[in-house]
Amino acid sequence: GESVGLHLPTLSVQEGDNSIINCAYSNSASDYFIWYKQESGKGPQFIIDIRSNMDKRQGQRVTVLLNKTVKHLSLQIAATQPGDSAVYFCAENGDSGAGSYQLTFGKGTKLSVIP
């Protein structure tokens, strides 16, 4: 049976290095994308978003890149810190046409920062 979800992709990085987390999305009609950070025992926390009419957006220490041609998103974290250790999810937000915005999440990547 499907067990991929029980074994999250894991990325281990040294403190101070840059991290790159990748995500493939499925719906070519999606026009809005969000990265969330989820720490153990907590709800997802908004990090950064990007619309489909952009290919790059920068925040504080984070950058999101969008490649619509191959339906790929990436999250870059500069100077990774121990507090960045968490599971990171990308989510696509496609308007169903009813004016609502259902979020569809990827499987997540676990980031572990080595002090």
Partner 1 sequence: DAGVTQSPTHLIKTRGQQVTLRCSPKSGHDTVSWYQQALGQGPQFIFQYYEEEERQRGNFPDRFSGHQFPNYSSELNVNALLLGDSALYLCASNSGRGETQYFGPGTRLLVL
User: Quick one: which of 12, 26, 45, 81 contacts partner 1 (CB under 8 A)?
Assistant: 45
End-to-end CA distance of the chain, in Å? 37
Q: Count residues contacting partner 1 (CB under 8 A)?
A: 28
Q: How far is CA 58 from the centre of its chain?
A: 14
State which of residues 1, 28, 40, 43 lies at the interface with partner 1 (CB under 8 A): 43
CB neighbours of residue 19 within 10 Å: 20
Contact call for residues 18 and 80 (beta carbons, < 8 A): yes
Tell me how far, at minimum, the Cβ of 28 lies from partner 1, in Å: 18
- The footprint of partner 1 (CB under 8 A) covers 5-8, 32, 34, 36, 42-46, 49, 89, 91, 93, 96, 98-108
